[in-house]
Amino acid sequence: MRRPSPHIQRDEDALTAVIEFLSAFTLFLMILTAFLSLAQLQMGSNDPDVDRLDRAASLGLDRLTSGEGWFVPHADGLDYANSSEDWHHASAEALHDGRVQPGLMLDHRLDMDRIAALHNVTEDGMAQGLGLDQDMSLHLSIQVVESDDETREKRFLFSGGTERGTAPSSSTAYRSFQQDGELIRVVLEVHDGGRKNNLLHITEVMVRPASSGPEWIEVSNPNDFAVSLIGWSFNHTSGSSSSNLLMQSGVLSGQSLSILTGDVSSQSAGNATHVIDLGARGFLGVGQLNGLADGRGVLSLRYTQLDEISPSDVVRIEWGGDTQLFMVTGQSLVWDGIDRFASSSWSLEDNPTPGEYGG
């Protein structure tokens, strides 16, 4: 009987070893998969939640950077007959009341007018227009990465929305554009939830107007996105009396100053983007009619998150009493831009400048 050669025997032994190794490795993978399944863990990128965020970021960026966009105004319902791609010509109030899908392109290039018009869009309005689910939030940044003009290099043309650190998971999509000697990058982050933290600042207050003028409050929106006033409120206390005003309408454009006044017709507004009448609502006075106490009082700007019941103070101003802030007729209170609650951050201004940055 012929015996197999040593060479063939060695090949068979090696093949057997390979088969045994593969069988053992397959068994190991089966056991590992069963364990991860019992532990409700997943391998690889096939996480439905992550895939959902990836898809939302990709589709949202595509809608944002593939066309001019679209706007449907509101007139007793959505007015589709008068819809237009010229969304960037509409006001912040009109965009908030209607339905907008922002688009940044014109003739296959980023349109600077449309980028500037993003300041009139709220974060919620953009999320809705880009087709994001209601439980999602976003952050959008548009940056000049490289430029022949050194003054524009590294400049953000827009940066606003919910910060990534407030959400448990996020996904990012971006596109780069080379035009006019610049490299511009558009980055869209989509978050699973997240806490919106759009601040508004009170920057100047007129409590004792001269010449029978109106009381007024100057409000700054430092965010790039517009902010809806729904959920915002004012509270004024003086001694045992208190007055509250819950804002039920209005939108403040991004990077804007607004004047809330006791009388629109006699209000000097400077370069304010918005002038809002609070006299008709009985919160601010004009002439001899006081809404804010002359001698001593506290004014608070508050916000209520959608998932909360009680409002929280965003800005608080106190005058009179121990604050050393005693105004004479015609003086205003001006914020130094540091602490939103400390009386030491406020000073008296002999020459009020409503609607002007810097007090």
DSSP string, 265-332: TT---TT-SEEEE-TTTTSS-BTT--SS-SSSEEEEEEE--TT-SS-EEEEEEEESTTS---PPTT-E
Q: Is pLDDT at 122 greater than 60 in this prediction?
A: yes
Three-state secondary-structure class, residue 88: helix
Q: Is pLDDT at 145 greater than 70 in this prediction?
A: yes
Task: Based on the fold, state whether residues 71 and 171 are members of the same structural domain.
Answer: yes
Task: Please give the full DSSP string across 6-72, using - where no structure is assigned.
Answer: HHHHHHHHHHHHHHHHHHHHHHHHHHHHHHHHHTT---TT--HHHHHHHHHHHHHHHHHSSS-EEEE
Asked which of 172, 192, 212 is the last residue of a domain, the reply is 192
Task: Based on the fold, state whether residues 83 and 174 are members of the same structural domain.
Answer: yes
Three-state secondary-structure class, residue 87: helix
Q: 23 pLDDT band (50/70/90 cuts)?
A: confident
Between 144 and 311, residue with greater pLDDT: 144
Q: What is the pLDDT of residue 36?
A: 58
| Total domains in the fold of the chain | 2
148-197 pLDDT, tens per residue?
999 999 999 999 999 988 888 999 999 999 999 999 999 999 999 887 77
Which residues have C-beta within 8 Å of that of residue 235, sequence separation ≥ 6? 242, 243, 244, 245, 298, 299, 300, 302
Sheet holding 170-179, edge to edge: 156-161, 136-147, 182-192, 170-179
CA distance 212 to 12: 106
Q: What is the pLDDT of residue 340?
A: 94
Task: Based on the fold, state whether residues 277 and 341 are members of the same structural domain.
Answer: yes
Question: Comparing 10-14, 48-52, 141-145, 294-298, which segment has the lowest mean pLDDT?
Answer: 10-14
- Nearest Cα to Cα of residue 135 among 190, 61, 207: 190
31-56 pLDDT, tens per residue?
877 765 665 555 455 556 678 999 99
Q: What is the pLDDT of residue 2?
A: 53
Return the H-helix or E-strand segment holding 123.
helix 123-129
Mean pLDDT across the chain: 90
Which residues have C-beta within 8 Å of that of residue 168, sequence separation ≥ 6? 192, 193
- Nearest Cα to Cα of residue 79 among 94, 59, 92, 65: 94
CA distance 41 to 103: 39
Asked which of 192, 216, 247 is the last residue of a domain, the reply is 192
In-domain check, residue 80? yes
CA distance 203 to 220: 7
In-domain check, residue 231? yes
CA distance 250 to 232: 10
In-domain check, residue 11? no
Task: Based on the fold, state whether residues 149 and 277 are members of the same structural domain.
Answer: no
The first and second tokens of residue 279, run together, are 């006299």
Task: Based on the fold, state whether residues 205 and 345 are members of the same structural domain.
Answer: yes
* First-last CA distance in the chain: 109
Q: What is the pTM of this model?
A: 0.83
64-100 pLDDT, tens per residue?
999 999 999 998 899 999 999 999 999 999 999 999 9
CA distance 77 to 73: 8
Task: Based on the fold, state whether residues 99 and 186 are members of the same structural domain.
Answer: yes
In-domain check, residue 4? no
Q: Is pLDDT at 140 greater than 80 in this prediction?
A: yes
Q: Is pLDDT at 13 greater than 90 in this prediction?
A: no
Q: Is pLDDT at 310 greater than 90 in this prediction?
A: no
Do 288 and 262 contact (CB within 8 A), yes or no? no
In-domain check, residue 12? no
Q: What is the pLDDT of residue 12?
A: 67
Three-state secondary-structure class, residue 215: coil
In-domain check, residue 5? no
In-domain check, residue 43? no
Q: Is pLDDT at 8 greater than 90 in this prediction?
A: no
Average pLDDT value for residue range 252-271:
96
194-236 pLDDT, tens per residue?
877 779 999 999 999 998 899 999 999 999 999 999 999 999 9
- Nearest Cα to Cα of residue 211 among 332, 350, 351, 330: 330
Asked which of 168, 192, 216 is the last residue of a domain, the reply is 192
In-domain check, residue 88? yes
Average pLDDT value for residue range 21-33:
80
Average pLDDT value for residue range 95-120:
97
Instruction: Give the residue numbers spanning the domain of 219.
Output: 201-349
Q: Is pLDDT at 6 greater than 60 in this prediction?
A: no
Q: What is the pLDDT of residue 265?
A: 95
Between 2 and 199, residue with greater pLDDT: 199
Q: Is pLDDT at 292 greater than 80 in this prediction?
A: yes
Task: Based on the fold, state whether residues 54 and 118 are members of the same structural domain.
Answer: yes
- Nearest Cα to Cα of residue 284 among 303, 308, 267, 309: 267
Q: 4 pLDDT band (50/70/90 cuts)?
A: low
